[in-house]
Amino acid sequence: MADDGRRDWVDAAAKLLVPLVIFGVGFQYSCQKDKVDRTRQQFDRDAGYVKALASDNEREREVTLAIVDALIEQKEFTPALRSAVAVLAAGKRDEPSTKIAQRVLDRAAETSPALNAQIQQTAQALPIRVYIQIANPDQRKGAETLRSELSSKGFVAPGVELRADESPDNTEIRYFSQGDQEQARSVAGIAQQLGYKTAQVKDSSGGVKGKAPVRQLEVWLGKRQS
């Protein structure tokens, strides 16, 4: 009789456990499916935003940046979005979306040290863009030679700009982020090899937050530079 009672208890326990196991497996599958669905939805969302940020339409880029800025508050500034915004922030400095992208990165960096480190790491993967300013038209030929040499070394050198009134007396290579200091020194070395012996590296990071695009250097040929 005792054995019969034990078997009845085992049978009853087994009957109770079967639906529990089925429920547990079903619940785990449901959770995994929900996680996969959320990941897919986030991927699709980010892909749409990245595409918009790469658009030729300036207004579309600006609107998308406003949406991404709102996502920072929701802690949804994903690696894909960070990379896309960083690329835009390192773009042409005269475009409004470039400046807006830089402000978005600055705001995101202020939310946490960890996110700031991630943004800096993302930016370091981008090529350096070097703008060359000259003090007088006679310097243009030498500046074009410098631009060509910088391009051959992997820098992005968009062009040469005449800025007579703002040029310093001596040649300066200005950087706007501490992470770009070594690159500025490399540019100074190239300039010196081409005859710009007075070229000096200058830290211009103070007071330009949100104004200077990431991964940007400026070469200012001095008024005294022949």
Give the angle 97-74-109 at the CA atoms, nearest 5°: 55
Q: Do residue 119 and residue 143 come from a single domain?
A: no
- Please tell me the number of Cα atoms within 13 Å of 139 on its side-chain side: 26
Res 8: pLDDT: 52
Question: Is 8 contained in some domain?
Answer: yes
pLDDT, average across residues 150-159: 90
69-78 long-range contacts, Cβ below 8 Å, gap at least 24? 69/104, 69/107, 72/104, 72/107, 72/108, 72/111, 76/42, 77/108, 77/115, 78/42, 78/46
**pLDDT value at 68 more than 70:** yes
The verdict on residue 214 lying in a domain is yes
Task: Out of 94, 126, 158, pick the residue that ends a domain.
Answer: 126
- Please indicate, yes or no, if residue 226 is contained in any of the structural domains: no
Predicted pLDDT of residue 190: 95
* Span between the terminal Cα atoms of the chain, in Å: 112
Give me the domain span that covers residue 61: 1-126
Q: Are residues 11 and 81 in the same domain?
A: yes
Burial label, 221 (beta-carbon count in 10 A; 0-12, 13-18, 19+): buried
The reply to whether 120 and 143 lie within a common domain is no
Give how many domains the chain has, as a whole number.
2
Do 40 and 58 lie in a common domain? yes
Q: Are residues 13 and 91 in the same domain?
A: yes
Amino acid identity for residue 215 in this structure: R
Whether residue 87 sits in one domain with residue 119: yes
DSSP letter at 125? Answer: T
Query: 116 with 32, same domain?
Result: yes
Confidence of residue 9 (pLDDT cuts 50, 70, 90): very low
Q: What is the amino acid identity at position 60? A: E
pLDDT higher at 117 or 191: 191
Band (88; pLDDT cuts 50, 70, 90): confident
Entry pTM: 0.67
> Are residue 122 and residue 139 in the same domain, yes or no?
no
Are the beta carbons of 221 and 143 closer than 8 angstroms? yes
pLDDT value at 181 more than 70: yes
pLDDT of residue 94 exceeding 90, the answer is: no
> pLDDT category, 10, cuts 50, 70, 90?
very low
